[in-house]
Amino acid sequence: MKKKIAILGSTGSIGTQTLDVIASHPEHFEVETLTANNNVELLARQAIRFQPNAVVIGNEALYGTLKEMLAPHPVKVYAGRDAIAQVAALPSADMVVTAMVGFSGLAPTVKAIEAGRHIALANKETLVVAGELITQMAMRHQVALLPVDSEHSAIFQCLQGEQYHPIEKLILTASGGPFRTKTAGELAHVTREEALQHPSWNMGAKITVDSATLMNKGLEVIEARWLFDVPAERIEVLVHPQSVIHSMVQFMDGSVKAQLGVPDMKAPIQYALSYPRRLHSDFPRLDFSKYASLTFEKPDMQRFPAPVLAFQALKDGGNRPCVMNAANEAAVEAFLHGQIGFTDIPRLIEQAMQQIAYIAGPTLDQLQETHRETVSRVKFKIQDSKFQSFQ
């Protein structure tokens, strides 16, 4: 039987590549639901091509436009954030791909898990913000959390067949981003356009900036802690500019397993959709003759302090990772709109982590309020006349 897939965030980088994978294997997959926030034109084109049961546009003002564009087609049309959460729980889908970016992916993921839908997790913020709650919920509802991020997919693949062998260390690799060799002084003056020129991966704007600050790696550390039940002190970050080794696992006997491949997100997406099977693909193959060497280095946490903040948030627990994530989302948005400089991003995150009240064992409602308060505080800080940007 074909596996029916719901894609939350179908017009983003992960969403569009997921549809490419589905299109390559029509005998195995079909699209059940598509959602987007604002890109109504692309969502309509996707719906016309894949003929899902339903589509949702998050921006309610675009409902009429989408409804009109899909009028000749037997596709149900809905609008609003609540509708996105509701379709994530529909029993007609076998798997939900959570490809929404940021905190907005949390509520639909919760609804999907509560409904017993298996999750292909591309929205790392879900586990960053509410890792303990989400993993407990997944266990309670017997739902699989299958990682889509290349690093976590690599670890997941390395762990197949190793369930009785204790993990000594997880090694998350990072490309180092476009500014790996820049000095601290140069970082203060990098532009939005430079930050969006990733040397290895083709990703959305927010994730690309996170990669440039190395915050992406900090978020992945927290995600790995919850996905694989490994404490932070046994998770290491290693810069690997060639982006060939996607991550590694070191076992208690000293053996290390690594997963290698070209930097292409379609491979981990396909593995999550087809697990436990591996399907044929036409993805580019890794040609070792093109790599004279594979190099590694420790990240410079002074020039790139974002991972330090992530490790601290994970250590503190409670709502602190939520504060860190919300402050990062607000700061990155401000950077992309030219309101702050590149090095202001970690500075604003650190200030928010110091100022927002700590809550131990927060509920989902308290996390929602923490996110709202943090974003509001960061935006207010940026607009304050006393705020001096490092631009």
The 10s digit of each residue's pLDDT in 205-235 is 898 999 999 999 999 999 999 999 999 999 9
Length of the chain: 391
Question: SS3 for 256?
Answer: strand
CATH code (residue 7): 3.40.50.720
Residues 121 and 179 placed together within one structural domain of the fold: no
Please give the full DSSP string across 278-317, using - where no structure is assigned.
Answer: -----PPPP-GGG-S----B---TTT--HHHHHHHHHHH-
53: which DSSP letter?
S
pLDDT higher than threshold 90 for residue 386? no
Whether 133 and 156 share a structural domain: no
Query: Which residues are registered as beta bridge partners of 121?
Result: 98, 147
Mean pLDDT of the chain: 95
Of the candidates 282, 312, 342, which is a domain's last residue?
312
pLDDT in tens, 85-120: 999 999 999 999 999 988 999 999 999 999 999 999
Q: What percent of the chain has pLDDT over 70?
A: 98
Residues 134 and 91 in one domain: yes
pLDDT tens, residue by residue, 175-213: 999 999 999 999 999 999 999 987 777 778 898 999 999
Contacts of 365 (CB under 8 A, 6+ apart): none
Average pLDDT of the residues in 260-277: 96
Q: What one-character DSSP code corresponds to residue 163?
A: T
Q: What is the mean pLDDT of residues 58-72?
A: 98
Helix or strand or coil: residue 92?
coil
Which of 152-161, 198-207, 318-327 has the least mean pLDDT?
198-207
Answer yes or no: do 295 and 349 share one domain: no
CATH number for the domain spanning 333: value is 1.10.1740.10
- Shared domain check, 142 and 12: yes
One domain, residues 176 and 275:
yes
Last residue of a domain, one of 312, 332, 363: 312
pLDDT band, residue 391 (cuts 50/70/90): low
Indicate if the pLDDT at residue 25 is higher than 90.
yes
Q: Which two tokens stand for residue 328?
A: 């990062």
Give the domain extent around 48.
3-147
pLDDT at 10: 98
Residues 232 and 300 in one domain: yes
Is the pLDDT at 27 greater than 70? The verdict is yes
- By the 8 A CB rule, do 186 and 309 touch? no
Distance separating alpha carbons of residues 145 and 155, to the nearest angstrom: 13
| In the predicted structure, residue 381 carries a pLDDT above the cut 70 | yes
- 36 pLDDT tier (thresholds 50, 70, 90): very high
Locate 296 and state its tokens: 């590694």
- Does 378 lie in the same domain as 277? no
Task: Look at residue 389 in the predicted model and tell me its pLDDT.
Answer: 67
Say yes or no: 79 and 141 in one domain.
Answer: yes
| Percent of the chain at pLDDT exceeding 90 | 94
How many separate domains does the chain show?
A: 3
pLDDT band at 68; cut points 50, 70, 90: very high
9: left (phi over 0), alpha (psi -120 to 50) or beta: left
d(CA 204, CA 305): 22
Report the 10 Å Cβ neighbour count for 391. Answer: 15
**Pairwise CA distance, residues 353 & 323, whole Å:** 6
- Asked whether the beta carbons of 112 and 119 are under 8 A apart, the reply is yes
The gap between the terminal CA atoms of the chain, to the nearest Å, is: 55
Pair 120, 17 in one domain: yes
**9 and 126 part of one domain:** yes
Describe the strand order of the beta sheet including 3-8 as a list of residue ranges. Answer: 76-79, 54-57, 29-36, 3-8, 95-98, 118-121, 145-147
Q: Does 245 lie in the same domain as 111?
A: no
* pLDDT of residue 385 exceeding 80: no
State how far Cα 346 lies from the chain centre: 19
Last residue of a domain, one of 122, 147, 172: 147
Confidence at residue 384, expressed as pLDDT on a 0 to 100 scale: 79
